[in-house]
Chain A
Amino acid sequence: MVQPLNYLKESPSQTAGPYVHIGCTPNFTGIHGVYETDLGSGPMYNDKTRGERITIRGRVFDGSGTVLKDALVEIWQADSDGFYNSPSETRGSADPNFFGWGRCPADMTTGEFVFETIKPGKVPFRDGRLMAPHVTLWIVARGINIGLQTRMYFSDEEAANAEDPVLARIEHRVRVPTLIGKREGDTVTFDIHLQGENETVFFDI
């Protein structure tokens, strides 16, 4: 016999279902008066936040090319200097005027999600190399059994993207563009494809 390890098992995931908005964004569904505002809604910056203002827009598509109208998307990102507003950020302190997290339900008609945020700075990879600016995304919906984790990089960061150690890990290079948000002016468009020829790269992190 050996000593038992005694680790617990993670609670198994279950789908967020069609009514995830009731719990996470009740005001969006028209249920007012309980929460003042929906958590994670509205611009992610204020007047004092450092960094370049951008708008991220996108939609989530299923394997038939149909837009999901019941998805919920969350993003998590570093501030303009590459620091996360988190106690697990051990390198320094982040911009106190940037929380770094946002939540947006897909529009019930168009399926679009929108985040008004700032462009993140570069964050080091585990070995110290810099990763290109990116935003981490988490996507849930009815029919998604476990939240999908992905990243959005920026099309105006070609040189940094070419050096990025995470993008470098993707063997099938034709899939890399699925992680690049297309920047035009201050808007970055990032569509997510759950299946099909352009299936987005999802991570097991």
Chain B
Amino acid sequence: MKNTLPESGPFFARDRDWHPPAFAPGYKTTVLRSPQRALISLDGTKSEITGPVFGHNTIGEFDNDLIINYAKPGEMAIGQRILVHGRVLDERGVGVAGALVEFWQANAGGRYRHKKETYLAALDPNFGGFGRTIADENGYYWFRTIKPGPYPWPNGVNDWRPAHIHFSVFGHGFAQRLITQMYFEGDPLIWICPIVKTIPDEEAIKRLIAPLDMNNTIPMDMRAYKFDIVLRGRRSTFFENRKEGN
């Protein structure tokens, strides 16, 4: 008998009190976009515990380098050069090998490259603002970018988003699918942001704040921020092979 159990169990139940609730009126758009009825609870079936696997051939050579992936040849994006790195783990502390991590962000002035973006800050002609990578066998990932600027947004009269990077992550099961945001250590806007404050627990908010990582900072080049992402853990499948009818 093998000592390693197949990775085919359902995931740990999601702690819904740790995540932001759907209805969080401080973030006004949630008011009409939040389901009002109770979610139907369902222990994961094959349809949720399985998920797509993205091969390394999906990813281009410079997809994880936002400083140059949109820049004209020989040019670079303007801004504070940073390395963002960390691990994709699951709740058991196990690295999620092969996780697809996608990220997007505003430029150094706080402006997104998007048709519907209206902020008056300048566009950087050499900055697209997105990238992606696949975590290695230990769940480790990294990318190079410039530090995004904070930006104002229409919610309250004077609401500003702290500097942040959006992350979309695929683990091994579709039930692990997660979108979140990374914030930067020391930013005073974090604690007054209505979107951050949809998360009820201060401890949970701290899990989204990347610390400055001087050990991985490259002298005379770029500072590093470390950001670990935790996806749901998988249950062991001790009881998966019971006989039919049990």
Query: B-contacting residues of A (Cβ < 8 Å)?
Result: 6-24, 26, 29-31, 33-36, 39, 62-64, 66, 68, 70, 74, 76-78, 84-91, 99-101, 108, 123-126, 128, 131, 134, 136, 138, 140-149, 151, 166, 169-170, 175, 194-195, 199-205
Known pairs A22-B112, A199-B35; A15 contacts B27 (CB<8 A): yes
Identify the interface centre among A124, A126, A166: most chain B CB within 10 Å of its CB: A126
Of all A-B residue pairs in the complex, the 9 with the closest CB atoms, nearest first, are A23-B104, A143-B29, A86-B50, A143-B33, A101-B52, A204-B39, A84-B50, A145-B20, A63-B32
**Measured between C-beta atoms, what is the minimum distance from A34 to chain B in Å?**
5
Does the CB pair B35–A148 fall under 8 Å? yes
The contact sample of 24 A-B pairs, CB cut-off 8 A, is A7-B91, A8-B230, A11-B208, A12-B180, A12-B207, A13-B179, A14-B179, A22-B128, A23-B104, A24-B102, A26-B128, A29-B115, A63-B33, A89-B8, A89-B46, A89-B50, A90-B6, A100-B52, A142-B29, A142-B33, A145-B19, A145-B21, A195-B32, A205-B11
In the assembled complex, the Cα of A30 lies from the Cα of B104 at a distance in Å of 15
Does the CB pair B52–A76 fall under 8 Å? yes
In the assembled complex, the Cα of A19 lies from the Cα of B11 at a distance in Å of 29
Does the CB pair B232–A10 fall under 8 Å? yes
In the assembled complex, the Cα of A85 lies from the Cα of B173 at a distance in Å of 11
**Measured between C-beta atoms, what is the minimum distance from B145 to chain A in Å?**
12
Does the CB pair B34–A33 fall under 8 Å? no
In the assembled complex, the Cα of A146 lies from the Cα of B34 at a distance in Å of 10
In the assembled complex, the Cα of A141 lies from the Cα of B116 at a distance in Å of 14
In the assembled complex, the Cα of A86 lies from the Cα of B87 at a distance in Å of 22
B92 within 8 A of A: yes
Contacts of A99 in B (CB 8 A): 52
The interface residues of chain B, by DSSP majority, are classed as loop
B189 within 8 A of A: no
Does the CB pair B47–A123 fall under 8 Å? yes
Does the CB pair B45–A126 fall under 8 Å? yes
B141 within 8 A of A: no
Q: Pick the contact of A194: B35, B43, B103 (CB < 8 A).
A: B35
For A75, give the chain B residue with the smallest CB separation.
B174
The interface residues of chain A, by DSSP majority, are classed as loop
Contacts of B174 in A (CB 8 A): 76, 136, 138
**Measured between C-beta atoms, what is the minimum distance from A190 to chain B in Å?**
16
Contacts of B199 in A (CB 8 A): 12, 14
B211 within 8 A of A: no
CB contacts under 8 Å to A, within B60-89, are 60, 63, 69-70, 89
Q: Pick the contact of B204: A9, A144, A194 (CB < 8 A).
A: A9
Known pairs A10-B91, A34-B69; A90 contacts B166 (CB<8 A): no
Does the CB pair B27–A11 fall under 8 Å? no
In the assembled complex, the Cα of A143 lies from the Cα of B41 at a distance in Å of 22
B48 within 8 A of A: yes
The interface size of chain B toward A, counting residues with CB under 8 Å, comes to 90
Does the CB pair A22–B130 fall under 8 Å? yes
In the assembled complex, the Cα of A9 lies from the Cα of B103 at a distance in Å of 21
Identify the interface centre among B18, B92, B104: most chain A CB within 10 Å of its CB: B104
Does the CB pair B70–A34 fall under 8 Å? yes
Contacts of A201 in B (CB 8 A): 37, 40
Does the CB pair A204–B172 fall under 8 Å? no
Does the CB pair B93–A8 fall under 8 Å? yes
Known pairs A10-B230, A13-B178; A199 contacts B47 (CB<8 A): no
Known pairs A30-B115, A143-B29; A88 contacts B8 (CB<8 A): yes
For B11, give the chain A residue with the smallest CB separation.
A205
Does the CB pair B112–A88 fall under 8 Å? no
Contacts of B115 in A (CB 8 A): 29-30, 108
Does the CB pair A22–B19 fall under 8 Å? no
Does the CB pair B130–A195 fall under 8 Å? no
